Structure 1
Amino acid sequence: MLNKIIRYFLENRVITILILVLVVVWGISTSPFNWHGGIIPRNPIPVDAIPDIGDNQQIVATEWMGRSPKDIQDQITYPLTTSLLGIPGVKSIRSSSMFGMSFIYIIFDDNIEFYWSRSRILEKLNSLPPGTLPEGVQPALGPDATALGQIYWYTLEGRDPATGKPTGGWNAEELRTIQDYYVKYSLSAAEGVSEVASAGGFVKEYQVELNPDAMRAFNVSVMDIMGAIKKSNLDIGAETMEINKVEYLIHGLGYIKDVSDLEKAVVTVRDGVPVRISDVAFVNIGPGTRRGGLDKEGVEAVGGVVIARYGSNPLEVINNVKDKIKEMAPGLPQKTLPDGTVSKITVVPFYDRTGLIKETIGTLETSLSHEILICIIVIIVLVLNLRASVVIASMLPIAVLSTFIIMRYTGIAANIVALSGIAIAIGVMVDVGVVFVESIIRYMEMPENRGIRKGKAMVNLIYKAVSEVSGAIATAMITTIVSFLPVFAMEAQEGKMFSPLAYTKTYALASAFVLGLILLPTLSYILFSVRIDSKRIRKVLNYILIAAGVLLSVLYSNIPALGLTAVGLNNLLAHRWKKPGISNYINIGIALVVATYFLAEEWLPMGPQKGIIVNLLFVTGCIAIILALLWLLVIYYERILRWCLNNRWKFMLLPIATILCGILIWKRIGQEFMPSLNEGSFLLMPTSMPHTGIEQNLNYIEALDKRLAAIPEVETAIGKWGRVNSALDPAPAQMFENTINYRPEYILNEDGKRERFKVNRKGEYLLRNGGTYNPADGFRLIPADSLIPDRKGDYFRQWRPEIKNTDDIWQQIVNVTHLPGLTSAPKLQPIEARLVMLSTGMRAPMGLKIYGPDLETIEQSGKAIEQALKDVPSVIPSSVFYDRAVGAPYLEIKLNRDNMARYGVNVEDLQEILSAAVGGMILTKTVEGRERFPVRLRYARELRDNPEALSMLLVPTATGAQIPLKELADIEYARGAQMIQSENTFLVGYVIFDKKQGKAEVDVVKEATKVIEGKIQNGELKLTKGVSYKFAGNYEQQERATARLMIVVPLALLIVLLVLYFQFKTLTASLIHFSGVFVAFAGGFILLWLYGQDWFMNFSLAGVNMRDLFQMHTINLSVAVWVGFIALFGVATDDGVLMGTYIHHVFLEKDPQTRHAIREAVVTAGLKRVRPAAMTTATTLIALLPVLTSTGKGADIMVPMAIPTFGGMLIQSMTMFVVPVFQCWWREGLLKKEEKARNAAENSSPGK
């Protein structure tokens, strides 16, 4: 089958070229990168920073304002939870009851369709039995979005339309009104938006404040005033009237339009005189009660958050939102201030995921381009044939474009993980081309084929060469793909995170293999058969090369373009060389220099500040060292292999010792769930005490933002206290969220790539105002628009010299945010925090859940465990905090039922009066154009702001008399719940903590478990009967993922072994070729261990520490690292398969019958395979160097995946000796058995 495909496309080269053009155009069209394809229409893959790894979750939110958490829990949360538990596919239900709000989180199995689950919830809510919930309470299903949906946060600010500078001039009430009734609805209309939630400011209210003295004088009750307000706000329609043959619509206008309309409403009539509301109450406009707000760098702000719909393309949604903002901007209100300044409402974003997405995708784009450049360099060096190098190198971009096409039409979004699948597949993709082309070159160099370069003979030559190795490559590809089955078998968060990688890696390998069969033979035929025999044409072409090189270098100041000139000159002078091959080698050298220069200029591993020469030397050195070692291996391979064959036991000590070291390290290495992605922002989430009031919370948030904004590396600091008006934000008023956007290390352009700026010969940056800035004279922040962009300039660093990484910035944040009365906060980022909070209920990635019969018991145990955890050596003591559930101060009004009976007052009437007069009751809403404002009734503040005034509240009796509240109830201070958490109806409390730097999550939890259990056993820690606890968060996820991997990884290895068995037909041969997996496994773990050793690579070159350059620190065994190992297993098997295939072919050809002949056959096969094996190892190792030094967004996930592959491939070269040694051992054993059998047969024959 494969041979037929190869021959068909090789003989029909026009079809092949058309397929090539189609793939290139289609691939550019679907590419996720911001390529400008000219006339090619764009239909890009959906793009995001990371996959949506949140739970399959729906939220039911219920508002019952003014009610305590206990009332919410008993009357709303508990009955709703018990009703929702029976929905099909529900895995668990968590709930949170707080002041005035209930949130219920229904987690479904991952196989339940998102919108199907929403319809089932709505069915259940609509069919609740009467009386399940209090009258007038209506639960609502949250937005059709996930934890990753919050993609765009903004504030509304008054700014000068001409200069864009802040002007102010708008109060919090005006801004909130504009947000609620203009901006919110405009942005909600953008395609892909699920919800726009408002935050900050004051909701405008008409407030009717009762005057008890006037009420007593007019003998008017609260109920009378309530009725009057409700009846004073009504428009009606009374059909139509025809006058003079014209139809008029009758419209009765009765809506409240201003304060005077409300004041004139009639309550009753006394002695023929109307008693108006203005006679018994004061009417004014004021702010509504709020449970959340925004602060921008110490100033109260108003804004909102845009939430993307489930399954939408985040980048596309953000662009749609920005288009809407541009569209509505001219129509936003503006005013002229007293000083003549014009202040126009402007939407100012403070969290925009566009930057993160573009930087993350940019990191991957850069890594891919670096890998392709490196592969080109390695191929040129190892093949020493420019034509062959072009054939192999051209396969990479075409295979990547093919992968984009498949991703686009299989629904795989482009994100850091999906594109990493392509990045880690590059080495294997190159191997396909290397093996095919190396086989073609080998055939061309055979004596009988030296004159063949064109026609049918060339077609047959290429066909034989490619078909000879196609079966082995197919097996190698299958084993590589099969080795990724464990990733497909992952579940929950890790499955959602890494399954895109498994798909894209599979797509990339399949594309490379198919293109290797279809396209590579045709390209090889074209490039190897092209010969320009006319000296005149060659001379003209060389002159064109010389002119093009000079022209390009002058026009674009591009030094590498002179490489074209050098090639042209060398070709013109080729006749002067005594040996004919010298000119070719010079061209190869020129190509190497140009490619290496390009790589060094783009990669800059030593840093931009070191200049191109230092970076070029470092890049050249890295490549030269690896290639030199592998070339030495190729040169001395025969000698080393013969020694290994003659000293098998001595040699086997090396791989055995390596494997034992790997196993020992594996057993001792720390474990964690997943490395966090650098989002370019931090989210600081401290909390205040449960009794803290709103005024103090405002002071806290203002102080935090001012301190954070003073850090030079911080670009903006926006603080939120409490919650925004969305079901996705279940925060109490005592919780703070400070979004801290720090500046990227270097100024970036709009595509997320570092931008260069003009410098003079002294290294000083030239400014637009004519000045200069020298970083050596001291750190200064220079805005990007003050610098002059220059493609040949230097990158501009925005961090102080002492700030080396984001951990240093976080430490600066921690240092300035210690405030009395505030708890510490774990290190979190916006996306990470949303995922953690909505998936676990906790505000930290590590924590402990405590279950108990009641809140007091849970509180007591939680505080005890909090103290115990502070003694755990690997835990940061200041990070340990039990989220207080009890501790909010209450004023409890205890009704005296005997006195109430005596005065004829029932409970419902009294409670309604209390609710209206003290808390305030919204009775109606005004209709003012598109704006709607509530009308609230309550007592004046001075009559309800202390217990004594409250006790004098007048209550009407059955006789019409009014008596003070103190005659009917007692007012007492009490301590109660601030928030009530539950899981599957059982009460729960959370203790959160954070681990020390370099510690593994699993090790920390094991140590914490040991400390807690030890304290329980010695009586130091006492837990109340009925209390249980368990560790949750990332640890829980890691335990589940590890348990799954321990099943599926061995299963995948077994499947790989079966594939090998189908190829080689014997179990022994399959095990021999499988042996490389164990060696590579050990190499990966050894490198992981070395990364955590302070002495390893701890030296400097040109002032740059190598540990810092390669970001060497303790790497724990996470799911990302396991994915790296799984990728390694497939690659490690490939060399063994190809080596075994060559040995098998040699044995079929020679059929050795002596020990010496067997060893010679093994050596012959090994010598055939050693060069392509060295090439594949070199490309894999060197291609990973840019990934290992990458520091951009997304590197946090790529690096842990790359380390096992790099370490494994370093050691895996041993397979080039292990497989031949085992093969020789096995075949010699078979020969001995045959000799014994033959001798036994001869001895037992009748003639003996």
Structure 2
Amino acid sequence: MLNSFIRFFLQNKLVAYLLLILFVGWGLITAPFDFGLQELPRDPVAVDAIPDIGENQQIIFTEWMGRSPQDVEDQITYPLTTALLGIPGVKSIRSNSMFGFSSIYVIFNDDVEFYWSRSRILEKLNSLPANTLPDGVQPTLGPDATALGQIYWYTLEGQDKDGNPTGGWDLHELRTIQDYYVRYGLTSAEGVAEVASIGGFVKEYQVDVDPDALKAYSINLEQVMYAIKESNIDVGAQTIEINLAEYFVRGLGYVQNAEDIEKSVIVVNNNVPIRIGDIAKVSIAPATRRGVLDKSGAEAVGGVVIARYGANPLEVINNVKKKIAEIEPGLPSKELRDSIFSQVKIIPFYDRTQLINETIGTLQEALSLEILITIIVVILMLLNLKSSLLVSSTLPVAVLMCFIAMKYFGVDANIVALSGIAIAIGTMVDMGIVLTESMVKRLKEAPPGEPLLESVYEATTEVASAVITAVATTVISFLPVFTMEAAEGKLFKPLAFTKTFALIASVIVAITIIPPLAHSVFSLKSGRKSLSYLYNGLAVVAGGILSYVYHPLLGGILAIVGVAGILHLLVQQYSSDRNASILSAITNIIYASTVAWLLAAVWMPLGVNKSILTNFSFIVIIAGGLIGVFYLIIHFYENILRFLLRFKILFILLVSFIVYQGFVVYQETGEEFMPALDEGSFLLMPTSMPHSGMQENIKNLRLLDMAVTAIPEVETVVGKAGRVNSALDPAPMSMYENVILYKSEYKTDENGHRVRYEYKQGEYIRNELGELIPDKNGRYFRQWRDEIKSPDDIWDEIVNATNIPGVTSAPKLQPIETR
């Protein structure tokens, strides 16, 4: 049956090419990388930095303002926890009782559908027996999101038309704008589960009762509370018809200002009304706060956008940014005392887009570098340009097919999943090499008169079953990974899936694409030498034009191919076969060197401050040395094998010693469950004394932010004490979270790409405004001090700067690690 498939695609090359076009087009549509192809629609794989390994949980959040943790535990948490125990699929229930609220975490089995579990909880909450909870207490279900959904943090700030900070806005003004305009606007963005506010002051009416007045008028607090409650209500009545027109009858009673409350009547004694204003003072004042936001030492107002469970985080962030661009022009503005125009703007201080793009970009670069290195090795080891092109060109096709499978099997693109593709590339290349080598050998040893199609078919069928068996063995070896459960399964299953997808895709390519493509490539032989000279001459001319108009490196590659082709034709025509073989080897070395130059320009293994020539020399030395060793082993393989067979005991002892040393190194190797990421930021999470008051925590938070802001490598610092208004955040006031964004090592543009600046006579040239001047032939500008070599050094500076009495130390974390 396998042989029938191979022969079908060989005899129907059009079907194979259509299949190739389908795979490439479909893969480009679903790829997580944006190749900038505007002609194709985009339906990419969901993208995030890391897999969500959190529990399958739902949160029941209940507020009971002013009550102690013990009261909350006894009258809220315990009754709700016992009532929720009978829900099907529940693995465990955890709870947390704090001042004024209760958080209950219902952990479900991993196979329980997320929204099904929410519906079961709602059913249970709606059927609670009477008097289970105190009067007026209503439990609510938390947002349909996980802690990893906190994808976008921002502050509200006043800025002028040039984007410079102006201030001039009170904290209660900004909080009102956040709660009643920004929050609702961003919540309407597609994929957003919740927008939670923090910082500033929430305005409320406060009634300060005079106890002596209460005693004088014989009024108790319940009467006062009842009067206030009943005074803030509209009353509806029937309609009345006057002159054939119908009118609605309404009693307007909603409170508009503090005076309305003061005029509310509590009781009437001897036809004399006793009003609120007689026994109390009514004012507008800030509500009690359990969360504070601070930016570089000044209090701020902001919020956090939480993505819905199962949504594509990158797509949600883009939707939020579009919504911000839509609502920002309508945000309030005013003219300050010094005639400066100030408008409220939404300023992000944590945006996971950067981390996602950097993570995906790093893996994209790694995949590209792997492919380039593979091309170099294949060219130098096979010394056959056609075979090298076959192997190298089909590798990206298999990767694109893997993206298609990821999209429709629901595997998100993250650092772990895409690592599976990177790991599988070696095996994917092996299949192409085995097939093409078999074809080249068959073509050399084919009987006279055997058709090219038959030679390719025989070569493919000879090794196809062995190739599939090898791949099947690799796939089966990953079966234990698919059986992992809980956090381990959520972390490593994506890797197992993507590696399996990549290997299966490479098998499909090897069986359906490579044989027809090889038949077409190996049959490219011109009967007329003049046409060959013409084609190669056109390649040289086109390369020169391409170098001048578009890209020098790409044009140079095309020109080199043309020149090499002409030389090869001349040697074949006017010299011996031996010289032609030597020239062919030299030509392949030139091709490999060209690819190595491209690799050096992209990779820069010795650093960006070294020239491309220095990086190219490093790659040539390393790659040439390794390949030279391989050729020596191939050349002396028979002698090496005879020596090892003669001294078997010595060889076994050597291998045993290597295994032992590997085991020793393994025991001393550090362990890390989650791979470390470079977000370009740190999260400082110290704590203060549990009983410390609001003002003490605000002072500590301000000191921390100001101390870190003074570090030259730090760009911005935003600190949070306490919790945001969300069920996902149960933090106490004594816990701080300081998001520290540090500058990139080298100055970059808005897309995160390093920029070169004009550099002459040992210094950077600046314009009249003191700004650096971009220059393609210049140097990268380093923003860190000379003694700062890595982000770890920046963290050491932060630790030294934040040694404040009354505040604990904190481990080195990044924002995404705590979600």
Give the structure-2-normalised TM-score: 0.96
| Alpha carbons 1:197, 1:724 under 8 Å: kept | yes
Q: Distance in 2 between matches of 1:92 and 1:649?
A: 57
Q: Is this contact kept in 2: 1:92–1:107, CA < 8 A?
A: yes
Structure 1 partner of 2:482: 488
Is 2:265 the counterpart of 1:266?
Answer: yes
1:71 aligns with 2:71: yes
1:799 equivalent to 2:784? Answer yes
Give the Å deviation of 1:242.
2.9
Task: Name the CA distance, whole Å, in 2 between partners of 1:748 and 1:199.
Answer: 31
Structure 2: how far apart are the matches of 1:158 and 1:666? 55
Which residue of structure 2 lines up, in the alignment, with residue 468 of structure 1? Answer: 462
Q: Which residue of 2 aligns with 1:818?
A: 803
Instruction: Provide closer, same or farther for how the CA distance between residues 460 and 769 of structure 1 changes in structure 2, counting only shifts above 3 A.
Output: farther
Task: Indicate whether 1:507 and 2:506 are aligned.
Answer: no
2:170 is the counterpart of 1:171: yes
For the residue of structure 2 that corresponds to 1:93, the secondary structure is strand
Letter in 2 for 1:812: E
Counterpart-to-counterpart distance in 2, 1:664 and 1:564 = 50
Code of the aligned partner of 2:167: G
1:52 aligns with 2:52: yes
Map 1:1056-1071 onto structure 2 (within 5 A). Answer: none
- CA shift at 1:582, angstroms? 4.4
Matched, 1:827 2:809: no
CA contact (8 A) 2:759 2:779 kept: no
Q: CA deviation at 1:823?
A: 1.3
- CA apart distance, 1:290: 0.8
Where in structure 2 are the equivalents of 1:394-433 lying within 5 Å?
A: 394-433=393-432
Shift, 1:542, TM fit: 2.4
Report the CA distance between 1:767 and its aligned residue. 4.3
Q: Which of 509, 513, 525 is matched with 1:519 structurally? A: 513
Match of 1:223 in 2: 222
**2:543/2:555 contact within 8 Å kept:** yes
Match of 1:600 in 2: 600
Deviation, 1:237, is: 2.3
The separation in 1 between residues aligned to 2:403 and 2:777, in whole angstroms, is 32
1:1150 is matched with none
Instruction: Using the TM superposition, name which of 577-586 and 316-325 deviates more.
Output: 577-586
| Matched ranges for 1:832-911 at <5 A | 832-834=817-819
For 1:426 and 1:362, the matched residues in 2 are separated by: 18
Check whether the contact 2:746–2:781 (CA below 8 A) recurs between aligned residues.
yes
| Match status 1:459 vs 2:458 | no
- Deviation (angstroms), 1:729: 0.4
Alignment of 1:486-635 (within 5 A): 486-556=480-550, 558-559=552-553, 561-574=555-568, 575=570, 578=575, 579-635=579-635
Matches within 5 A, 1:1192-1231: none
Q: Could you tell me how far apart the structure 2 residues matched to 1:792 and 1:509 are?
A: 42
The DSSP-based 3-state class of the residue aligned with 2:40 is coil
Residue aligning to 1:368: 367
CA distance in 2, matches of 1:652, 1:206: 85
Say which SS state the counterpart of residue 168 (structure 1) adopts: coil
Q: 1:43 to 1:573 in 2, by over 3 A?
A: same
Say if 1:147 and 1:831, in contact at 8 Å, map to a contact too: no
Letter in 2 for 1:595: V
Cα deviation code 1:126-177 (max 9, x no counterpart)? 22222222221111111111120111111111111x2011111111111111
List per-residue Cα deviations over 1:832-864 (Å, max 9, x = no partner): 112xxxxxxxxxxxxxxxxxxxxxxxxxxxxxx
AA in 1 matched with 2:485: E
1:1102-1113 equivalences in 2 (<5 Å): none
Return the letter of the residue paired with 1:470.
Answer: A
Q: Is contact 1:683–1:828 with CA below 8 Å preserved after alignment?
A: yes
Secondary structure, aligned partner of 1:231: helix
**Does structure 1 residue 641 correspond to structure 2 residue 626?**
no
Shift of the alpha carbon at 1:257?
0.7
Distance 2:679 2:42 in 1: 27
Aligned to 1:198: 197
- For residues 244 and 426 of structure 1, the distance between their equivalents in structure 2, rounded to whole angstroms, comes to 86
Q: Indicate conservation of the 8 Å contact 1:560/1:594, yes or no.
A: no
What is the CA-CA distance between 1:117 and the residue it aligns to? 1.6
Match in the other structure for 1:653: 653
Q: Secondary structure of the equivalent of 2:580?
A: coil
Q: Mapping of 1:74-473 within 5 angstroms? A: 74-160=74-160, 162-446=161-445, 448-449=446-447, 457-473=451-467
Q: CA deviation at 1:734?
A: 1.1
Q: CA deviation at 1:210?
A: 1.4
Alignment of 1:732-771 (within 5 A): 732-749=732-749, 751-752=751-752, 754-760=753-759, 762=761, 764-767=763-766, 769=768
C-alpha distance in 2, partners of 1:62/1:605?
55
- Consecutive unaligned residues in structure 1, runs of 5 or more: 772-785, 835-1248
Distance, in Å, in 2 between the alignment partners of 1:648 and 1:818 is 62
Task: Report % sequence identity.
Answer: 55
C-alpha distance in 1, partners of 2:69/2:427?
59
How far apart are 1:676 and its partner, in Å?
3.2
Distance 1:414 1:675, change over 3 A: closer
- Cα 1:635–1:128, aligned 2, differ >3 Å: closer, same or farther? same
Paired amino acid for 1:409: Y
Distance 1:833 1:34, change over 3 A: same
Deviation at 1:400, TM superposition (A): 0.6
Q: CA deviation at 1:660?
A: 3.7
Distance 1:485 1:767, change over 3 A: farther
Q: Is the 8 A contact 1:6 1:463 kept in 2?
A: yes
Structure 1 residue 439: Cα displacement: 0.8
- Deviation per residue, 1:714-773 (Å, 9 max, x gap): 221111011111111011111111111222333445555x323233454654545475xx
Deviation (angstroms), 1:3 = 1.3
Opposite residue 515 of structure 2, the aligned amino acid is P
The 2-side partners of 1:312 and 1:670 are apart by 34
In 2 relative to 1, CA 417–120 (structure 1 residues): closer, same or farther, beyond 3 Å?
Answer: same
Equivalents in 2 of 1:669, 1:344: separation in Å? 54
Scaled by the length of structure 1, the TM-score of the pair is: 0.63
Contact 1:202 / 1:290 at 8 angstroms: preserved in 2? Answer: yes
Q: Deviations over 1:348-385 (max 9, x none)?
A: 11111100000000000000000000011111000101
The answer to whether the Cα contact below 8 Å between 2:758 and 2:772 also exists between their aligned partners in 1 is no
- Provide the rounded CA distance (Å) in 2 between the counterparts of 1:486 and 1:799: 46
The aligned amino acid for 2:784 is W
Which amino acid in structure 1 is aligned with residue 541 of structure 2? A
Distance 1:59 1:275, change over 3 A: same
Deviation at 1:581, TM superposition (A): 3.3
Measure, in 2, the Cα distance between the counterparts of 1:799 and 1:173: 38
Letter in 2 for 1:15: V
2:401 and 2:751 map into 1 onto residues whose CA distance is 23
SS class of match (2:232): coil
Deviation at 1:556, TM superposition (A): 4.0
The residue matched to 1:36 in structure 2 has which SS?
A: coil
Q: Decide whether the 8 Å contact of 2:749 with 2:755 is kept in 1.
A: no
Instruction: Work out the number of aligned pairs and report it.
Output: 813
Q: Report the residue type matching 1:147 in the other structure.
A: A
Q: Which moved more, 1:375-384 or 1:231-240?
A: 231-240
Q: Residues 32-58 of structure 1, C-alpha deviation per residue, up to 9 Å, x if partnerless?
A: 002111311111111110111111111
Q: CA deviation at 1:663?
A: 4.2
Q: 1:761 to 1:376 in 2, by over 3 A?
A: farther
Does the 8 Å contact 1:29/1:37 carry over to 2? no
Letter paired with 1:231? E
The change in CA–CA distance for 1:670 and 1:408 in structure 2 (over 3 A counts) is closer
Structure-2 change in CA distance of 1:749 and 1:410 (3 Å): farther
Contact 2:546–2:554, Cα closer than 8 Å, also in 1: no
- Show structure 2 runs of 5+ residues with no match: none
Paired residues of 1:358 and 1:751 also in contact (CA < 8 A): no
Structure 1 CA distance for aligned equivalents of residues 772 and 249 of structure 2: 66
Distance 1:714 1:727 in 2: 31
Q: Distance in 2 between matches of 1:822 and 1:427?
A: 51
